[in-house]
């Protein structure tokens, strides 16, 4: 049975979920984490529901059997939409946190009442997302834009030099895709009838924040899910008595981090390890030795 010292499992179709892991690490610095990127099968957003559900079940079982995880964060909007209810039924004893586009937080901050939503086609066409939108349709005007290929492009951009302010947005594949989809949505800004809020409905998209900001302007609010997911994960662990405790205070009165032989973060991938290593170093400042390749049939 998992103990408080057991790791928290986190998985995504690829490296995009590292944006969620970054928030989890900030919220719970004493916890251990095992992150699995199913990059051999990425992106999930352009796969069918049955395939995504099968992968979600297989990875959940793998993380439980091989790493004895005490909780699971499904750091993928598409996997959450396709399989979260089935996973809850199959693993009722496992604290489980999924993602969905942050529509409700966007409603709380929009001033113009016009909200843009970008995500993968798999997420935005799912029954779960449709039900969410139907429940909120009378509260704002939503412009929903599937971004085919963007998650895949972000996935493969990690080995390229970072975009700088001197580069034209469309000088890279990710920037060109961002430009295409933002331009298709309509006007952004704070004037009446303009979208003043943009929901980033895929974990990969925060990593093209620079490109999106250049396209929508400085005043548009970006809403993503990493921080609320981290808060919810902490709440569930506290309720289950599984939150990892710090050691007693030292002579300075400051609590000390727990110590054991296990690494605080393990990063696993079913695809090329070089991609995960590059993403971990760029986005989390974690060394390549944290990364390894695994097989999850």
d(CA 190, CA 173): 28
Take residue 40 and report the two structure tokens written for it.
């051999």
The catalytically annotated residue of 147, 178, 202, 290 is 202
Residue 293's nearest CA partner among 269, 275, 274 is 269
Residue 219 CA, chain-centre distance (Å), reads: 24
Q: What is the C-alpha to C-alpha distance for residues 283 and 297, in angstroms, rounded to an integer?
A: 28
DSSP 169: G
Crossing angle, helix 150-157 and helix 173-185, to 10 degrees? 150
The closest of 150, 203, 198 to 174, measured between CA atoms, is 150
Burial class (CB in 10 A: 0-12, 13-18, 19+), 231: middle
Q: What is the CA radius of gyration of the chain?
A: 19
Cα first-last separation, the chain? 24
- Please say whether the beta carbons of 276 and 288 come within 8 A: no
Hey, what are 127's tokens?
A: 């029954």
Q: Is 178 a catalytic residue?
A: no
Candidates 76, 147, 178, 291; catalytic one: 76
64-76: burial string, b at 16+ Cβ within 10 Å, e else: beebebbbbbbbb
If one counts every other C-beta atom within 10 angstroms of the C-beta of residue 193, the result is 11
Q: Respond yes or no: is residue 202 known to be catalytic.
A: yes
Two structure tokens written together for 171: 């000088």
Catalytic residue annotation: 76, 202
């Amino acid at each position: 049975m998992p103990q408080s010292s057991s790791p928290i499992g986190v998985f995504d179709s690829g490296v995009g979920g590292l944006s969620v892991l970054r928030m989890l690490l900030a919220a719970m610095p004493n916890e251990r984490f095992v992150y699995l990127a199913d990059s051999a099968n990425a992106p999930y957003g352009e796969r069918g529901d049955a395939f995504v559900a099968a992968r979600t079940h297989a990875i959940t079982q793998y993380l439980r059997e091989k790493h004895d995880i005490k909780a699971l964060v499904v750091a993928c909007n598409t996997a959450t939409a396709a399989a979260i209810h089935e996973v809850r039924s199959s693993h009722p004893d496992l604290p489980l946190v999924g993602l969905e586009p942050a529509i409700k937080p966007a409603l709380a901050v929009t001033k113009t009442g016009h909200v843009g939503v970008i995500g993968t086609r798999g997420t935005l066409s799912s029954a779960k997302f449709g039900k969410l939108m139907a429940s909120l349709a009378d509260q704002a005007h939503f412009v929903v834009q599937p971004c085919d290929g963007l998650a895949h492009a972000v996935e493969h951009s990690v080995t390229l030099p970072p975009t700088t302010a001197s580069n034209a947005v469309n000088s890279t594949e990710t920037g060109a895709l961002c430009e295409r989809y933002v331009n298709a949505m309509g006007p952004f800004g704070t004037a009446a009838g303009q979208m003043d809020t943009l929901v980033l409905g895929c974990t990969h998209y925060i990593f093209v924040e620079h490109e999106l900001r250049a396209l929508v302007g400085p005043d548009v609010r970006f809403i993503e899910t990493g921080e609320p997911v981290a808060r919810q994960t902490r709440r569930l662990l506290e309720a289950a008595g599984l939150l990892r405790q710090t050691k007693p205070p030292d002579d300075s009165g400051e609590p000390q981090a727990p110590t054991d032989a296990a690494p605080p973060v393990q990063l696993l991938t079913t695809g090329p390890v070089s991609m995960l290593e590059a993403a971990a170093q760029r986005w989390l400042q974690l060394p390549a030795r944290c990364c390894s390749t695994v097989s999850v049939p």
